[in-house]
């Protein structure tokens, strides 16, 4: 297929790279041109605007940090909506708010353009190695048409339904679950450290108990306090954004999420203590400080 890809950060670069490896023609755009140029040697065409990346393609992917960043590349005379053809589809893989996803679907429909929401689970290494989990929602025929693209980027695709915002609600809920795991690891490790018990030995037991690579990977990062890994982790600022969005969604359906509120407050504390550039697993430092343990950064 002929594709566009807008947003070549830690996740987008790996995703676009795998589409190229699968034999698709890919036009790429990134606000920082150097990131787009890095894929040129692998066969990508570098576009000079989001509209150019969306022009004369079957689909254009977007992978941006938040609602605002996505809106900046969708709208305007140089935006995706301006360049997207009538038979083409905008596939948003960004983790965005439910309300904004609804708005995008409505505005694409008004413009006569197709829109699929397909956020992903996985860290940058998973994006690079085609190990993402893709959660897709939108018109069933369109989702079926573009499923081979999801397969080219991930290890499994889950189709959620016909409303694109359903995929965003699921993604935010999933990120809340991961954040909850970070919180519980942080609390357990801190308690054991204060008691003089080997928290790394505890991690071995938990890995055996749950048998989850997510527990193993994040548990190891927290146990070893490897919070500063440029290019590999998930930024704490983005974690705060996602927890805020899931709280916003829960409030819109009148569903209390007290644990999410607690975690949001801990992320705010982390930001106030200069952890913005660290991995979101550095939530552990907030809990450790509250318990009187030193910050080992």
What are 195-213's pLDDT values in tens digits? 999 999 999 999 999 999 9
3-state helix, strand, coil in the chain (%, to 5): 55, 15, 30
Q: How far apart are CA 201 and CA 222, in angstroms?
A: 13
Q: How far apart are CA 292 and CA 19, in angstroms?
A: 48
pLDDT for the residue 295: 61
pTM of the predicted protein model:
0.94
Residues contacting 64, CB < 8 A, separation 6+ = 6, 7, 9, 70, 73, 94
Q: Which structural domains are found in the chain, ordered by start?
A: 2-162 (3.40.50.720), 169-290 (1.10.1040.10)
pLDDT for the residue 232: 73
How is residue 257 written in tokens? Answer: 């999420």
CA-closest candidate to residue 187, choices 119, 242, 262, 130: 262
Q: How far apart are CA 186 and CA 184, in angstroms?
A: 5
Q: Confidence band (pLDDT; 50, 70, 90) for 1?
A: very high
Q: How far apart are CA 131 and CA 110, in angstroms?
A: 35
pLDDT, one tens digit per residue, over 109-137 is: 999 999 999 999 999 999 999 999 999 99
pLDDT, one tens digit per residue, over 53-101 is: 999 999 999 999 999 999 999 999 999 999 999 899 999 999 999 999 9
- Contact status, residue 122 vs residue 92, Cβ threshold 8 Å: no
Catalytic residue list contains 171: yes
Q: How far apart are CA 20 and CA 253, in angstroms?
A: 40
Q: Which of 21, 171, 200, 296 is catalytic?
A: 171
Q: How far apart are CA 117 and CA 62, in angstroms?
A: 10
pLDDT, one tens digit per residue, over 217-241 is: 999 999 999 998 766 789 999 999 9
The answer to whether residue 39 scores a pLDDT higher than 60 is yes
- Residue 60 pairs in a beta bridge with 4, 90
């Amino acid at each position: 297929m002929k594709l566009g890809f807008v947003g070549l950060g830690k996740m987008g670069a790996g995703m676009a790279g795998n589409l190229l490896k699968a034999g698709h023609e890919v036009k790429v755009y990134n606000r920082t041109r150097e990131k787009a140029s890095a894929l040129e040697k692998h066969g990508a065409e570098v576009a000079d605007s989001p509209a150019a990346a969306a022009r004369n393609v079957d689909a254009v992917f977007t992978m941006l940090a938040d609602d605002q960043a996505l809106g900046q590349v969708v709208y305007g005379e140089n935006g995706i909506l301006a360049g997207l053809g009538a038979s083409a589809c905008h596939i948003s893989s960004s983790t965005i708010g439910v309300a904004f996803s609804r708005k995008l679907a409505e505005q694409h429909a008004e413009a006569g353009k197709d829109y699929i929401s397909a956020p992903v689970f996985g860290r940058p290494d998973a994006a690079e190695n085609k190990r993402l989990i893709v959660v897709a929602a939108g018109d069933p025929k369109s989702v079926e048409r573009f499923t081979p693209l999801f397969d080219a980027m991930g290890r499994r695709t889950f189709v959620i339904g016909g409303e694109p915002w359903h995929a965003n609600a699921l993604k935010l809920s999933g990120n809340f679950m991961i954040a909850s795991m970070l919180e519980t690891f942080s609390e357990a490790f801190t308690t054991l450290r204060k008691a003089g018990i080997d928290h790394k030995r505890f991690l071995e037991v938990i890995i055996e108990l749950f048998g989850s690579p997510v527990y193993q990977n994040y548990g190891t990062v927290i146990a070893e306090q490897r919070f500063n890994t440029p290019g590999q982790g998930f930024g704490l600022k983005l974690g705060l954004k996602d927890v805020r969005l899931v709280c916003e969604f829960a409030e819109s359906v009148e569903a209390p999420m007290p644990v999410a509120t607690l975690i949001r407050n801990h992320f705010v504390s982390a930001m106030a203590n200069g952890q913005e550039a660290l991995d979101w697993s550095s939530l552990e430092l907030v809990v450790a400080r509250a318990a009187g343990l030193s910050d080992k950064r």
